[in-house]
Amino acid sequence: MSRSRVTIVCPREFDFTDAEASVERPILEDVAEVETVWLGFRDPLPEAVLDAHAVILWHGLRVNRPTIAGFRQCRAIIRNGVGYDTVDLDAAAERGIAVCNVPDYGTEEVADHALALILALYRQLFPLDAEAKRLGWRIGCQSRMRRLRTQVLGIVGLGRIGIATALRAKAFGFRVVFFDPHVPTGLHKAVGVERVDSLDELLRLADVVSIHCPLTTETRGFIGEQELALMKPSAFLVNTARGDIVQKAPLFRALREGRLTGAGLDVVEDEPLRTAEEASTPNLIVTCHAAFCSPEGMIEMRSTSARIARAAVLGEPVWNQVNRIA
C-alpha cells in the first residue's frame, strides 16, 4: 500500500529555500512522504498537491471551490499562519476536508510589532531620525508627541494578539479600551481593560486605534471613510492584522489632508504599496507584512502545521479547525 503524502505549498515570491523541509520532515517522515512545491500566486495546483492527504499552505496562495473539487484524498488543509481567508471553508467542509490554522505562533511578535509602531508614532522616531541626519536639531514634530499615560488605546479585536497588545500597552500607561462583539462577557475584567459597545464609540474615544481582528466578510473594508471621520484629527491608526480590513485610499487621503495625525501599517490593502504617491504619504510608517517574523516563531508555526498534518494522515482528531464538517 502506498504511503500517505503531505505537500507543502509555498509561493515562489517568498524567499524560502528550505527544500528539505527540515522542520516538517522529522515530524512526518515515519508516516508520510513530504514534498515542497513552489507556485506563483495564480498557478494551478499540480498533481502532487491534488494527490496529497494533507496540504500545508503558505500565505498568499488561494484554494477556491474548483481547486478543492480537484483534491482526490485530502483530509486537511493547514494554513501555515493565522489567517485563512484564502481558503474556501464551505467547499472544503462539503468534501469533508478540515481547514486548520496556527493562530498562536506569532502572538508575541505581532503584539511587540504593534507596540513598536505605536511608540514610533508617539515618539516621532522617524521624523526625528531624519532631522538629526540632516544635521539639524529643530524638533519640528514635537506637537505630535504625547505623554502615553494621558492617551487612550482602542483595540479592535480582543483575541490572543489583541490581549497581548493590551497587556503591553497597559505597562506603558495607556488606558486601554476594546471593541469585540465575539468575546465573552467579563473577559475585560480578567485582562483589566474597558469594553465599549460599538466600533463608533471606540473610534471617537481612542487616541490610537490598533487593529487585531481577523479578515472575514464582516471585517473586510471595516475601516473606511465614515469610520476614519469619527477619529480625532490628532489620532493614530495601527494595523498589524490584515490589509483589507482598512481601506487604503480613504486612509491615505486622511493623512494627506491632515484629518489623521499618523498611521503605522504592517499590512496594506492590495499589498505591497503600488505607487510612489502611496509611498510618499505623509506621517505614514509601513513595514513589509513582517510583524510575525522571528526564527523562533517560524519554527513554532511550521512544527505546529506538521503535527496537525501528521494527525490528519493518521486519521486522528486535528485541532485549530476553522470550518465545520457535518
pTM of the prediction? 0.88
Mean pLDDT for 228-235 is 98
Q: Which residue has the higher pLDDT, 44 or 36?
A: 36
Q: Is 187 left (phi over 0), alpha (psi -120 to 50) or beta?
A: alpha
Q: What is the pLDDT of residues 201-219, one digit of tens each?
A: 999 999 999 999 999 999 9
242 catalytically annotated: yes
Largest CA distance in the chain: 75
Catalytic annotation, pick one of 271, 278, 300, 307: 271
Q: Nearest 10 degrees: CA dihedral of 107, 111, 114, 116?
A: -120
Fill in the amino acid letter for 68: I
Q: How far is the C-alpha of 174 from the C-alpha of 293, rounded, in Å?
A: 26
Catalytic annotation, pick one of 113, 188, 289, 302: 289
Produce one character per residue of 36-59: b if its CB has 16 or more CB atoms within 10 Å, e if not.
bbbbeeeeebeeebbebbbbbbbe
Q: State the pLDDT confidence band at 15, using cuts at 50, 70 and 90.
A: low
Hunting for cell 477556491 — which residue is that?
64
- pLDDT above 90: residue 306: yes
- pLDDT above 60: residue 5: yes
The whole-chain average pLDDT of the chain stands at: 94
Compute the chain's Rg from CA coordinates.
22
Q: How far is the C-alpha of 121 from the C-alpha of 228, rounded, in Å?
A: 17
Let me know how many helices (H) and strands (E) the chain has, helices first.
13, 12
Quote the percentage of the chain above a pLDDT of 70.
98
pLDDT at 50: 93
Architecture of domain 107-286: 3-Layer(aba) Sandwich (3.40)
Burial of 25 (0-12, 13-18, 19+ CB in 10 A): middle
289 catalytically annotated: yes
- pLDDT above 70: residue 1: no
273 CB neighbour count, 10 Å cutoff: 18
Catalytic annotation, pick one of 175, 188, 242, 310: 242
CB 283 within 8 A of CB 45: no
Q: What is the pLDDT of residues 121-163, one digit of tens each?
A: 999 999 999 999 999 999 999 999 999 999 999 999 999 999 9
Q: How far is the C-alpha of 240 from the C-alpha of 290, rounded, in Å?
A: 9
Fill in the amino acid letter for 97: I
Fill in the amino acid letter for 59: H
Produce one character per residue of 202-223: b if its CB has 16 or more CB atoms within 10 Å, e if not.
bbebbbbbbbbbbbeeebeebb
Architecture of domain 4-105+294-313: 3-Layer(aba) Sandwich (3.40)
Mean pLDDT for 40-48 is 82
Among 33-47, 174-188, 223-237, name the one with the lowest average pLDDT. 33-47
What is the residue extent of each domain of the chain?
4-105+294-313, 107-286
Mean pLDDT for 27-38 is 95
Do 4-105+294-313 and 107-286 come out as alike in CATH topology? yes
- pLDDT above 90: residue 223: yes
